[in-house]
């Protein structure tokens, strides 16, 4: 696929549309439609009855003007684990905005485990990220997202950078969550100066799950962390300056909650160990 003059003006457009459905005793990926540089590997079945799916973005990074659009639908009683081989990298922009839009629809009694590797925003990146999860009755969600603003390991701050993100979780019979984060000019004051943000979400959750997560956080070395339960939505907020530690805590929360929510022990995606 070659870029036209118009493509050069707006950047790449990558679209990926996935549907999962229950087929007998196993969930299958029954639809995989994509355009541009956005696709998936074949589904893996380390747990036999539901797939682990890895999202792929072959260019390896997103520049100003690029757009990535992900649409995922889980039909009734289906179950999928989704992750990716590496972080999504948003590179420096000369002015154009890079956009990532992610929409997930969970039908009755379906399960989604959304376990991405995270988003790295290079200094001077200009990024808008919109993530929406809509749950029907009986659906269950375990997921997280992370933002690394700048490259602290390289001593690079998020100077002149811009990041606008929206996280929306719609739940039956509940207000759910609508959350916005805006970072302008690389100013991290509202994050107490920390360049790393982690958010874990789980629904439907209980007071017991909240208590267990708080115990886990109290034993961690994270400089700033907290957990709340609103209706049946469990939200965990993390700030840090060490990406490896942040990822380990997020994975630990998932491993802690999975048996309580799904009655299954945690089976990490194989790509995490490569």
pLDDT in tens, 34-55: 998 889 988 999 999 999 999 9
Give the residue among 85, 87, 90 at the shortest CA–CA distance from 62: 90
148 contacts 120 by C-beta, under 8 angstroms:
yes
Confidence of residue 4 (pLDDT cuts 50, 70, 90): very low
pLDDT-above-90 percentage for the chain: 75
94 vs 127, which has greater pLDDT? 127
Q: Strands 126-135, 162-170: parallel, antiparallel or unpaired by DSSP?
A: parallel
Confidence of residue 213 (pLDDT cuts 50, 70, 90): very high
170 contacts 137 by C-beta, under 8 angstroms:
no
pLDDT digits (tens, 9 = 90+) for 240-258: 999 999 999 999 999 999 9
Q: E strand or H helix at 238, and its extent? A: strand 233-240
Q: Cα-flanking dihedrals φ and ψ of residue 188, to 5°?
A: -105, 25
Q: What is each CA distance from 135 to 74, 138, 233, 257, in whole angstroms?
A: 10, 8, 11, 18
pLDDT digits (tens, 9 = 90+) for 90-123: 999 988 999 999 999 999 999 999 999 889 999 9
Q: Strands 52-56, 39-40: parallel, antiparallel or unpaired by DSSP?
A: antiparallel
Q: Strands 88-90, 119-121: parallel, antiparallel or unpaired by DSSP?
A: parallel
Whole-number Å distance between alpha carbons of 137 and 119: 30
| Average pLDDT across the chain, whole number | 91
């Amino acid at each position: 696929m070659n870029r036209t003059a118009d493509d050069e003006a707006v950047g790449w457009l990558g679209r990926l549309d996935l549907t999962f459905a229950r087929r007998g005793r196993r969930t299958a990926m029954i639809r995989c439609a994509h355009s541009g540089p956005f696709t998936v590997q074949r589904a893996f079945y380390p747990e036999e009855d539901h797939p682990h799916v890895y999202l792929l973005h072959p260019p390896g990074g997103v520049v100003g003007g690029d757009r990535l659009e992900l649409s995922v639908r889980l039909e009734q009683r289906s179950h999928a684990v989704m992750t990716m081989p590496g972080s999504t990298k948003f590179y420096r922009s000369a002015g154009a905005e890079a956009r990532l839009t992610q929409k997930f629809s969970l039908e009755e009694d379906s399960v989604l485990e959304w376990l991405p590797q995270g988003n790295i925003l290079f200094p001077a990146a200009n990024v808008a990220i919109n993530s929406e999860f809509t749950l029907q009755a009986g659906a269950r969600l375990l997921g997280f997202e992370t933002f690394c603003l700048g490259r602290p390991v390289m001593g690079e701050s998020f100077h002149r950078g811009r990041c606008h993100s929206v996280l929306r979780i719609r739940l039956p019979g509940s207000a759910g969550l609508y959350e916005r984060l805006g970072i302008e000019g690389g100013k991290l004051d509202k994050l107490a100066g920390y360049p790393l943000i982690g958010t874990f979400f789980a629904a439907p959750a209980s007071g017991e799950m909240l208590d267990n997560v708080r115990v886990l956080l109290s034993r961690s070395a994270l400089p700033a962390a907290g957990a709340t339960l609103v209706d049946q939505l469990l939200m965990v907020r993390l700030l840090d300056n060490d990406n490896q530690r942040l990822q380990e805590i997020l994975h630990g929360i998932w491993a802690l909650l999975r048996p309580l929510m799904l009655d299954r022990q945690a089976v990490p995606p194989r790509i995490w160990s490569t």
